[in-house]
């Protein structure tokens, strides 16, 4: 029996808290997993940014990627390694780079999801290049943004079509606000989207591989309170519905770590924002839910590394479109989409793997998250974001919330 080492790389930016927790829990687990006639052991290493030869080998089997969505050099190294070296990475880097919120809205509308009415509007301002000036003079139709009011109703939201965090989403309660938001949009391409009113629940469903976690979300609260600690606020049937929605979106676009925001109006869940590849993983925002996230990182990365899960480089949308063409109710279609998603994420095989090889994870993680080492990891992230006089109070707050989650979920 041979001992084989598989290496998991962490491609990180400003992340501090979850990598420290991930590394220390993995070290304590010290996994040794039988695969056929061999034994697989796992190493964890941080990935550095440096010049690279396009033909050089890649030492990693799996990379947990936190840079593709914004940092080009790391993205291009990852794309090279996937193509040349069979690297497995979260998420598909081509999809993350090219699929704006606009594409995700259009695709899920096509699959029949109840996306709110959405318009794209051209930029308010343009670069004065000769070709563009000529093109617009010949073909651009002038329009009055105020005419969207009767079509969509108020309130409505003006938001960047690509989800660019540098420009805020603006709620417009009347025509004056709509016109002001358009004036302020400058050269950005924007969406105008109808509001879901009135709604009684706002949730964010986090999907990590086949794992999902639903959080009641309060966008009006300070950042550290937006992920609420509410439990059992929707039914089991609604949780399953949101799981299917989230995994359908994620498997369609090749996103293994993504979140879906949805609003409930009456008995309908409306997905409103779901192109969030590489979502927030910081204890300063997740707090209570932080242990779930770190364990989800561990389970999926270990599974992918040990089983040598092949990277799906090319997106294949035809099975989903075939379901859409067949007709039936939305729920019937969603069941079929979710079946495709479970096949692509190997849900049954993953759950069996975790039960057989990661049964000790909950106990190890529980002990770690109650330790001084975990508290130090929390403090490091707090110190990076908060003023000095708030570091200790917020460290205590987040650490207590972590403990509350562990107490409420003794079995994970």
- Concatenate the DSSP letters of all residues of 78-137 into one string: HHHHHHHH--EEES-HHHHHH--HHHHHHHHHHTT--PPPEEEE--SS----HHHHHHHH
* Domains of the chain, residue spans: 3-98, 117-194, 201-408
Could you give the CA distance from residue 263 to residue 271 in angstroms, rounded to a whole number? 7
- The tokens describing 248, both together, are 């359908």
What CATH topology corresponds to 117-194?
Dna Ligase; domain 1 (3.30.1490)
Q: What is the pTM of this model?
A: 0.96
Rg of the chain on CA atoms, in Å: 23
| CB of 153 closer than 8 Å to CB of 214 | no
What CATH topology corresponds to 3-98?
Rossmann fold (3.40.50)
Confidence of residue 165 (pLDDT cuts 50, 70, 90): low
Cα-based distances in Å from 387 to 2, 108, 118, 168: 52, 42, 40, 24
Confidence of residue 166 (pLDDT cuts 50, 70, 90): low
Could you give the CA distance from residue 245 to residue 260 in angstroms, rounded to a whole number? 8
At 350-399, the pLDDT tens digits run 999 999 999 999 999 999 999 999 999 999 999 999 999 999 999 999 99
At 265-309, the pLDDT tens digits run 999 999 999 999 889 999 999 999 999 999 999 999 999 999 999
């Amino acid at each position: 029996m041979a001992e084989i080492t598989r290496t998991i790389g962490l491609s990180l930016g400003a992340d501090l808290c979850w990598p420290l927790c991930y590394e220390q829990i993995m070290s304590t687990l010290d996994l040794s997993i039988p695969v056929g006639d061999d034994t697989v052991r796992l190493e964890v290493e941080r990935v550095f940014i440096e010049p690279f030869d396009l033909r050089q080998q890649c030492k990693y089997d799996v990379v947990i990627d936190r840079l593709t969505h914004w940092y080009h050099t790391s993205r291009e190294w990852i794309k090279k390694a996937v193509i040349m070296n069979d690297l497995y990475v979260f998420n598909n880097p081509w999809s993350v780079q090219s699929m704006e919120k606009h594409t995700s809205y259009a695709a899920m509308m096509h699959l029949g999801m109840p996306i709110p009415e959405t318009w794209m509007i051209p930029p308010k301002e343009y670069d004065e290049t000769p070709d563009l000036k000529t093109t617009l003079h010949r073909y651009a139709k002038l329009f009055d943004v105020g005419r969207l009011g009767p079509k969509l109703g108020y309130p409505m939201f003006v938001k960047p079509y690509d989800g660019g965090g540098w420009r805020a989403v603006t709620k417009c309660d009347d025509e004056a606000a709509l016109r002001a938001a358009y004036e302020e949009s400058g050269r950005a391409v924007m969406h105008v989207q109808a509001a879901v009113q009135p709604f009684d629940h706002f949730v964010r469903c986090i999907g990590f591989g086949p794992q999902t976690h639903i959080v009641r979300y309060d966008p009006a609260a300070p950042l550290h309170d937006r992920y609420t600690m509410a439990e059992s606020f929707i039914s089991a049937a609604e949780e399953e519905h949101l799981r299917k929605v989230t995994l359908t979106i994620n498997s369609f676009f090749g996103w293994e770590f993504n979140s879906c925001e949805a609003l409930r109006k009456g008995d309908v869940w409306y997905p409103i924002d779901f192109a969030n590849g590489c979502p927030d993983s910081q204890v300063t925002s997740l707090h209570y839910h932080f242990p779930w996230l770190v364990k989800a990182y561990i389970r999926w990365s270990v599974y992918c590394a040990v089983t040598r899960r092949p990277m799906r480089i090319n997106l294949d949308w035809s099975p989903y479109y075939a379901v859409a063409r067949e007709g039936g109710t939305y729920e019937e279609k969603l069941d079929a989409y979710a079946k495709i998603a479970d096949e692509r994420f190997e849900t049954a095989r993953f759950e069996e793997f975790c039960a057989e090889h990661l049964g000790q994870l909950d106990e190890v993680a529980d002990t770690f998250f109650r330790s001084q080492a975990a508290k130090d990891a929390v403090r490091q992230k707090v110190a990076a974001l908060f003023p000095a006089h708030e570091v200790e109070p917020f460290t205590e707050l987040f650490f207590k919330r972590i403990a509350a989650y562990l107490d409420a979920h003794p079995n994970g």
